[in-house]
């Protein structure tokens, strides 16, 4: 299994366009600290890739990775992209708006999503009707049992429900535990597994079981502690109330991740999270627990 880390930031990116908090100011002063919206690319088979979430940064994310670009070799089809589709973890804007950028897909594009997410993106967000005149979007069901990324691929993807939180534009929709899921990516050839959970509202028994089976876990690192959103002044709700378990403190995920057998990395960092600064003391604490922070453009091969 081959994975490209396309981005590691929460909604708004780092820096966020309308923010001058220490994290955003630091990223503007030190471009190496910049982070694009959280996303992965997974190789389904040679020459065929799927994105995990389609972010507002989808253009720069594709351009940053030659593996995702059409070939410019003599005789090659200049408009044939290796990008075959998208797998969605939820219906949030920062994970779905990039689908609109795929309207130029000559051969169409696959989008794998749970039922409530598919309905929200197609109908409430309107991307179904918007894209129909431009390209063919093949919507495929994502479930807990797992499906191949595509025919002939050894990679199977399954959903582990982690939150019933709905995006604001779908607040009137019916509750459903599949609104937000972690993705279990399993290579049937090598037997290796990756669990990707950019949002984690609770640590359920199902998530614990999936995390223990995984060789690599990407976990929700939106906030360092539960009071961070309130302390930063942009919300009156705690991290947990916003649907994100914090890294540390009561209910934090660090001690649970440290007990897992696989490699564990935090992703989906908010602009207020001190982990956005590579020199912050918090990185030393993570290292003591054997944990990491994922970096943009990181390559993981299993």
What is the reported pLDDT for 77?
80
Mean pLDDT of 12-37: 97
Burial pattern 152-175, b for ≥16 Cβ within 10 A else e, equals ebebbbbbbbbbbbbbeebeebee
Contact 266, 294 (CB under 8 A): yes
What pLDDT was estimated at residue 295?
A: 98
Question: Where does the pLDDT of residue 30 fall: very low under 50, low under 70, confident under 90, or very high at 90 and above?
Answer: very high
Residues in Cβ contact with 19 at an 8 Å cutoff, skipping those fewer than 6 apart: 12, 271
- DSSP helix/strand/coil, 55: coil
Residue 162 predicted with pLDDT over 80: yes
Distances (CA, A) of 220 to 34, 145, 253, 279, 296: 18, 23, 9, 20, 15
* Cα 221 from chain centroid (whole Å): 11
How far is residue 299 from each of residues 92, 112, 268, 276, measured CA to CA in Å? 25, 23, 17, 19
> pTM for this one?
0.97
User: What is the longest distance spanned by two Cα atoms in the chain?
Assistant: 59
Domain harbouring 56, CATH code: 3.60.15.10
By C-alpha distance, which of 237, 228, 222 is closest to 270?
A: 222
Note the pLDDT tens digit of each residue in 241-277. 999 999 999 889 999 999 999 999 999 999 999 999 9
Q: What range defines the domain where residue 49 resides?
A: 2-301
How many domains in the chain? 1
Q: Which among 270, 279, 231 is positioned nearest to 247, based on CA atoms?
A: 270
| DSSP code per residue over 142-201 | --TT-EESSTT-SEEEEEEEEE-PPPGGGTTSPP-TTSEEEEEEEETTT--EEEEES--S
Nearest of 15, 11, 17 to residue 30 by alpha carbon: 15
Q: What would the pLDDT profile of 108-127 be if each residue is shown by its tens digit?
A: 999 999 999 999 999 999 99
Residues 68-91 pLDDT 10s: 999 888 877 878 899 999 999 999
- Tens digits of residue pLDDT in 216-238: 999 999 999 999 999 988 889 99
Return the structure tokens found at 136: 């063919």
Residue with tokens 């309207």: 103
- Per-residue pLDDT band for 56 (boundaries 50, 70, 90) equals very high
């Amino acid at each position: 299994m081959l994975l490209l880390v396309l981005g590691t930031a929460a909604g708004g990116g780092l820096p966020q366009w309308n923010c001058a908090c220490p994290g955003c100011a630091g990223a503007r002063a030190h471009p190496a600290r910049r982070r694009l919206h959280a996303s992965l690319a997974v190789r389904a088979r040679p020459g065929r890739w799927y994105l995990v979430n389609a972010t507002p940064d989808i253009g720069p994310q594709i351009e940053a990775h030659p593996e995702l670009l059409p070939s410019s070799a003599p005789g090659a089809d200049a408009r044939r992209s290796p990008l075959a589709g998208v797998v969605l973890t939820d219906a949030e804007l920062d994970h779905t708006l990039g689908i609109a950028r795929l309207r130029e897909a000559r051969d169409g594009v696959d989008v794998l999503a749970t039922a409530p997410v598919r309905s929200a993106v197609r109908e409430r967000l309107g991307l179904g009707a918007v894209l129909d005149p431009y390209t063919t979007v093949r919507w495929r069901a994502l479930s807990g049992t797992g499906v191949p990324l595509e025919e002939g691929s050894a990679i199977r993807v399954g959903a582990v429900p982690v939150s019933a939180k709905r995006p604001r534009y779908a607040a009137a929709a019916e509750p459903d535990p599949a609104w937000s899921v972690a993705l279990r990516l399993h290579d049937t050839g090598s037997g290796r597994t990756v669990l990707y959970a950019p949002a984690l509202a609770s640590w359920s028994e199902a998530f614990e079981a999936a995390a223990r089976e995984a060789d690599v876990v990407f976990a929700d690192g939106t906030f360092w502690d539960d009071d961070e959103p309130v302390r930063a002044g942009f919300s009156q709700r705690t991290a947990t109330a916003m649907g994100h378990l914090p890294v540390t403190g009561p209910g934090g995920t660090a001690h649970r991740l440290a007990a897992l057998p696989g490699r564990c990395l935090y992703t989906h960092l908010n602009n207020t999270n001190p982990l956005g600064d590579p020199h912050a003391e918090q990185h030393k604490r993570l290292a003591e627990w054997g944990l990491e922070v994922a970096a943009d453009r990181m390559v993981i091969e299993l």
